[in-house]
Structure 1
C-alpha cells in the first residue's frame, strides 16, 4: 500500500470502528487531549473531515467549512457520514495529486499545501485520534502493520519546535522515549501523547 489516500482511508475507517463503540453517556469523558471531553474530540474529528473534504474540492478557504461544534447524541452517525465524505473527496482527486489544499487553520501565510502533504496531515491525525478515542473508552486500538512505516514517517516530519507551544497547536511537545516501544508508541510520544495514558477521573 503506497497511495497516501488508501492508507488514510484505512486509518479513517478504523477510527469509525472505534467511534462506533461510543455511547451517549460517554460524551462527557476526559480524553488524552487536555481540556477536551469526548464530545469536544468527536466534534473536532467530524468537522476536520468536512474541512479537508472541502479543501479537496477547492473550497477549503471558506472558514464556515471548519466551524467547530461539540458532538451530540447523533455523534456516531455524524462521524461515520463525515468519514465517508472525506474518503470520497480524496478519491476524486487526480492520481498525480497535483492539487493544492487551502487549510486555513494552519498558522502560515498562505496556508496552502500540496495534496499529498495535506492528506498526510489528515492521515496522522486520524491514527492519533483513533487512539485518543480508544484510550478514552478503555478499548484496544491496534495500528495496522501496513500503516506503521507511513505513520512513523509522517509523524516524525511534524516540526517539534515552539510551534507546539502556541495556543491551539495540533500537538504538544514530543515526550522522552520516542524511540522506544511499538511504532504506535513512537508516533504517540513524538506527538506529545503518553501511550499509557489513563483518565484521572472515573466515568
Structure 2
C-alpha cells in the first residue's frame, strides 16, 4: 500500500535479482541479516523485513496515536490519499468500499500524469484491529499480493502497525524491494506521522465523525469479544443484561434519527447482537461521514444539524455504556481519565436537572482519591465497585 510504484515486475522496474534460491539473492547496502531475514531500517523506526524462506515482506512501524486513529487513516479515503506513497506522487481514488467484501482502486500520479494504477478487494475489515486485502498492479494483473495489516495498542497514544505482504514468488518479492520501495514506505509514514498530529488525538477535540468512529470501535471490540452465553449476564444498569445495553443503543438512536427524516430498518439485536451492532455502527457512521446538511428536529432539543445531534446525545451514550458492557462481561473498562474528568466537570453544574430527568439514579458516594472514571460513574448512579454475580 505504501511501496514504490509500480510494485511488480515489468518494464518500469529494474531487473529482478537473480539466483537459484533464497541464499543466492543479493542484498542492498542497507540490508542486514537479522532473525533469518533481510532487514532494511529506514527513518522513524520503520523496519522492512524480507523473509529468507518465503516470499513475504513485513513492514513494522510505531505511531504516536491510538489504533482507531491509525486504522481510520487506512480506510477513510480522504485521509488515505493524504499519506500513502512517496512525496513525489499523489493518489487518486476511483473506487473505495472499505468493508469486508468491498473493493477498491486508485491511481498514482506525478504532476497530473498517471504513473501506475492498482486495484483489489477487502477480504476483512475489523475496526481498529485488522485489514486483509489484495493488491494488484494493473500492468501485472497476474501478480496479486495478499496483505494483512494489524494495529496493536502499545499504550496511551501508541500503536504498532504491521503490514505483511505475501506474493507469488521470490522474483516478484525481490523486484518490489529493488524498486526503491523503502523510500516510498519511509516518506509515506512520515506523511502519516504528520497527518496524525494534525488529526484530533483525543475524542474530546475530534469532529463528530471521528469521535463516533473511535467510541464505536471500542464498543464494537467488546461486542465481538462476548460469547453467546455472556449476553444474558447482568449489567450495572438495574434490570438490564449485557444484551439490553446493545439493544438500548440501537433502538433509541434509530428512532431518534427519524427526526431528521432518516428511516433506518429495524435490527434484531436479540438474534445476532454482533451482526446487528456492526450494521448499526455502519449506518450511523455513514450519516456522520455525509450529513448532507440534514436537520434533526426533536421536541426536547429543538432543531440541530444531524451530525451535531448524534454527537451531542448518541455518541456520549455509546462511550458511557462502554463501561456498563465491559463490567457486565467481566472486562476492565477504560474510558480515559482526562475525558472522564472533563465530562464530570461539564455535568456537575446540571446535577439537579439530570436527576429530575430520570435518566440517572442517585449519585453513589466515592472517596476523594477515586479515579476520574470512578467519580464519573458514581455521579451518574453507577457503583464503581460493581461486579457481575454470574
| TM-score, length-scaled by structure 2 | 0.41
Aligned to 1:190: 379
> Among residues 304, 326, 335, which one is paired with 1:114 in the alignment?
304
Q: Which residue of 2 aligns with 1:33?
A: 237
- Offset of 1:162 from its aligned partner? 6.2
* Ranges in structure 1 where 5+ consecutive residues have no aligned partner: 104-108
1:134 paired to 2:329? no
Q: Which moved more, 1:112-121 or 1:188-197?
A: 112-121
**Whole-angstrom distance in 2 between the partners of 1:151 and 1:19:** 24
More helix by share: 1
How many aligned residue pairs are there?
184
Whole-Å Cα distance in 2 between the matches of residues 149 and 77 of structure 1? 33
Q: Quick check: 1:135–1:198 contact (8 Å CA) kept in 2?
A: yes
| Cα RMSD after superposing both structures | 3.2
Q: 1:174/1:124 Cα in 2 relative to 1: closer, same or farther (>3 Å)?
A: farther
Runs of 5+ in structure 2 lacking a partner? Answer: 1-199
Give 2:188's aligned residue. Answer: none
Instruction: From 143, 151, 164, give the equivalent of 2:335.
Output: 143
Between 182-191 and 111-120, the greater mean CA deviation after superposition:
111-120
Which has more radius of gyration? Answer: 2
Aligned partners of 1:91 and 1:37: how far apart in 2? 31
CA distance in structure 1 between the aligned counterparts of 2:253 and 2:244, rounded to whole angstroms: 14
Which residue in the other structure is 2:351 paired with?
160
Query: How far, CA to CA, are the matches of 2:341 and 2:288 in structure 1?
Result: 21
TM-score by length of 1: 0.72
Indicate how the Cα distance of structure 1 residues 150 and 79 shifts in structure 2: closer, same or farther if over 3 A, else same.
farther
Native 8 Å contact 1:42 1:79 kept in 2: yes
Residues 35-184 of structure 1 mapped to structure 2, 5 A cutoff: 35-55=239-259, 58-59=260-261, 71-93=269-291, 100-103=295-298, 109-112=299-302, 114-115=304-305, 116=308, 118-144=310-336, 147-148=339-340, 151-153=343-345, 155-156=347-348, 159-161=350-352, 164=355, 169-177=358-366, 180-184=369-373
